[in-house]
Structure 1
Amino acid sequence: MALSNEVEALVNQGVKLLASKKYDDAAEKFSNACELHLQETGRDDAGLLFLYGKALFENAVSKSEILGGQSEEQEEEKPQQDDEANEVGKDGTGNFSFSEDVPLAEADEDQVVAAEEEAEDEVQQEGPKDTKHDGNQQSASEEHEENENVPKEDSEFDIAWDVLDSARGLFEEQLKQHPQTVPDVPPLKGVRDEPKDQITKIKKNLADVYDFLGQVSLETENFAQASIDFANCLKYRKELYPAYSQLISESHYMISLALEFTKEEGANEEETLKLEEKARLQAVEHMKQAISCIKQRYSLPETTSKDENLLQDMEQRLQELERDPLKELEQQKMDILKGILGQATSNSSSEKEQDANKPVNDLTGMVRKRKANVKNSPNKRTN
């Protein structure tokens, strides 16, 4: 559907702001474009919602990075603040001030006993204090219940996810209106290729939307949802690009990353361990496919730029994923047990060596003790 001139102008302004990394301003322009288009046509536009959701996501990421940087600076400032706090014991001029109160340990014992007896008398005279709440006061549990009933505001990541998910639903509705056919040859060769037909354009939009949905889920640590979104992104990218495409290897990598941190709760501990192991093995498989895509792309004669460091990093990551954490834990337990037994054996051996290295004169003492023991034994033979 063609956009009006007013909406088109807002979109162009938003795109420029987005390119300039002025995400907050860009999100506002795209929001106005969505509202104006809805007023004009009575319908939401998937493309406008996608741009709006993308700007919201980028804005949320930029703000979280700024807040993260501030928290790190605050952590660095803590030692200085602690030093300043230590100066409180001084009188403000840098000189130490001494209290006139005598420490209890240095006070006269008679004075201490008298003070304690006087305090006990005062407590008995006053009686137990009334700890009941006034009618206007609330208990901590009541306040906690009220806080739980207050609805939490959605974060900017949540809002971005909702907008992007709305765009996804509209794109999928558009795709249903066209015949579902998978071409024998991928219609797009690379990232910069533009779709030439409507079906390819819709699938590309769906792949991009699912990619951003997955990134939002990663940022909010919803790793299970992220793995689903990245898997749907991969499904459409496989229909659009050749197997060695950078976008396909990227999707495999992102799925592996999401699966690595996915924690699923089973009915019991054993089932939970099985689910975690299944996710780990799936992460390993996707990492292998990501590496295979990169190697295939690097083998092409037209590939001039090769990042060997990237390949090495991914292969190292694969090795880490292939390690079975349960087996490593059992091995650590065995190593600890061996260490304990080895130390005990070593101590026993050293004691035996010390006994063997004693002077010969000590042997007579040992023999005498043995004779004494035999003499006192109830099983002594008699002639």
Structure 2
Amino acid sequence: MTDTQPVSSEPTAPKIPRTKEKLDELASAGTLQYKLKNFASAAELYADASEIQAELNGELAPENAELLFLYGRALFKVGLQKSDVLGNRVAQEDKKQPKAPKKAKKTEEANGGTKEETVASKPFFQLTGDENWTDSEEEEEDAEGGEGGEEDDDLSTSFEIFEMARVCYEKQLQAVETANEGDKGKGKAELSPQARAIKEKLADCHGFLAEISLENERFHDAIEDARKALALQEELHPLEHENVSEAHYILSLALEMASVHKAGDEPAETEERAASNGTGKPQPDAQEIDYAMREEAAKHTELAIRSVEARLKKAETVLAGDTLSSEQKKETETLMKDKKGALEDLKTRLADLKTDPKSASLDAIDPSLFQGLVGSLLGSDTSTMKAKLEEATKSANDISGLVKTRKKEKPPVAASDASSGKRKLEVENEEANGKRVKTEDP
């Protein structure tokens, strides 16, 4: 007798052919969807294409770099979109939806029935283990990873894809440099077009990796990638290039964020610092500031300002000439207006970085608060202070007659209590409420 296996009624999805033609078709479709800003659809198409590419070439083949870069960029856009949605629309929908009522725990009785647990039915002490795991705890865990989990997965996957693309680009660059070993030492101007294109993609990879780390609050990781991105951008472009100013800004942002940390996140406080807080112990909630990082952040903000100013100066020179048409001049003027706004923001940021955040709250106090009587007394001699106080006293209004108070009658003090010096236990409040303090057993 042969065993019969049940046949699944669900239709199986057709398998995508693993061919070079299908790979090119999926990649082209993904590029079209990305141009239309359909980033989720583009990411799915790039994912299928990357799967075929890995089977055809190997997972980390140098020729896989471009498609992996496109896939990572699309996933990054999807993660940012979901981050915006979760911050606004989803939060509003959650407020509208009523919370599901919690299920009452039930215990089996001896007769096979069930009863709802109450405080009276529970013993005073209970030992519980994994067998008492409830559905509510599982639901809480699902809720924690439900809304933000998918967004984190997109950004985390994007980070991994960019890392793979970076490795592939580095393999390409190594092969090009090996082939051009005889041209080494001729400087930046002799950089071959192929090597330049690879380094531009490498700089973009490090830039995206730094931004993802910033999104996930991994600030020290962001600093490492931002430094590498800046080094490549400075090698490839002059100071006034937009990529250079953006790289300086990203690095300064990462440095500023990493400079502020909780006291417990760093090595133990020194004895002097612990003694300065008055408790003799470190304060775990207190924020510590790495001023060296903050100064470096200010330095890169200054360099970003110089970059934008140089770009504006170059644009003004072009506008003064006759090389641009009227439409091109309008576009250039619009871009200059935007850059001037960004320049003002950078200058404001630089001023904030040069201000000690710990003393900013004290510096923000309005000085007019000290311009009254107390302010006039500060720095005056004794006779002047006395005269001003007398003048203020004469002009003051006495309102004590308007205040009505009710005198309390003092209870008679017993002789024994007065002679012993002990205070009597006050129980007026309890007796007024109909209650009496129990002082002895019945």
TM-score bracket for the superposition, by shorter chain length: 0.5 to 0.7
Q: Secondary structure at the match of 1:242?
A: coil
**In the aligned structure 1, how far is the partner of 2:185 from the partner of 2:159?**
29
Contact persistence 1:207–1:234 (CA under 8 A): yes
Contact persistence 1:294–1:311 (CA under 8 A): yes
Match of 1:292 in 2: 306
CA deviations on 1:301-360 (whole Å, 9 max, x unpaired) are 236632322222211221111112234356579x8x9899948979998765577899xx
> What is the TM-score when the length of structure 2 is the normalising length?
0.56
Q: 1:15 aligns with which of 19, 28, 31?
A: 31
Tell me which stretches of 4 or more aligned residues in structure 1 moved more than 6 Å: 150-153, 270-274, 337-341, 343-351, 354-358
Structure 1: state its 5+ residue gaps: 82-126, 189-195, 359-383
Tell me if 1:255 matches 2:251: yes
Taking a change above 3 Å as real, the CA distance of residues 357 and 324 of structure 1, as seen in their structure-2 partners, is closer
Match of 2:421 in 1: none
Structure 2 counterparts to residues 238-277 of structure 1, below 5 A? 238-262=234-258, 263-264=260-261, 265-269=265-269, 276-277=290-291
Taking a change above 3 Å as real, the CA distance of residues 241 and 343 of structure 1, as seen in their structure-2 partners, is closer
Q: 1:210 aligns with which of 202, 206, 221?
A: 206
Taking a change above 3 Å as real, the CA distance of residues 29 and 158 of structure 1, as seen in their structure-2 partners, is same
**In the aligned structure 1, how far is the partner of 2:161 from the partner of 2:244?**
25
Deviation at 1:10, TM superposition (A): 1.1
Contact persistence 1:204–1:236 (CA under 8 A): yes
Taking a change above 3 Å as real, the CA distance of residues 317 and 268 of structure 1, as seen in their structure-2 partners, is same
**Identical pairs, percent:** 27
Match of 2:124 in 1: 131
> What CA RMSD, in Å, does the superposition of the two structures yield over aligned residues?
4.3
Match of 2:349 in 1: 317
Contact persistence 1:182–1:239 (CA under 8 A): no
Contact persistence 1:230–1:251 (CA under 8 A): yes
CA deviations on 1:19-61 (whole Å, 9 max, x unpaired) are 1111111111111111111222234412111111111111111
Larger helix proportion of the pair = 1
Match of 1:30 in 2: 46
Q: Which amino acid aligns with 2:124?
A: T
CA deviations on 1:180-212 (whole Å, 9 max, x unpaired) are 857645689xxxxxxx73211210110111111
**In the aligned structure 2, how far is the partner of 1:274 from the partner of 1:355?**
47
Q: Secondary structure at the match of 1:299?
A: helix
**In the aligned structure 2, how far is the partner of 1:348 from the partner of 1:280?**
48
The size of the alignment, in residue pairs, is 298
Q: Secondary structure at the match of 1:261?
A: helix
Match of 2:219 in 1: 223
**In the aligned structure 2, how far is the partner of 1:350 from the partner of 1:235?**
65
Structure 2 counterparts to residues 171-186 of structure 1, below 5 A? 171-177=169-175, 178-179=177-178, 181=184, 184=187
Structure 2: state its 5+ residue gaps: 1-18, 99-119, 274-285, 320-328, 379-384, 397-442
Q: 1:46 aligns with which of 65, 70, 94?
A: 65
CA deviations on 1:219-256 (whole Å, 9 max, x unpaired) are 21222222221221111111111221111011111111
Taking a change above 3 Å as real, the CA distance of residues 202 and 232 of structure 1, as seen in their structure-2 partners, is same
Q: Secondary structure at the match of 2:352?
A: helix
Structure 2 counterparts to residues 62-73 of structure 1, below 5 A? 62-71=81-90, 73=92
**In the aligned structure 2, how far is the partner of 1:28 from the partner of 1:357?**
80
**In the aligned structure 2, how far is the partner of 1:128 from the partner of 1:185?**
81
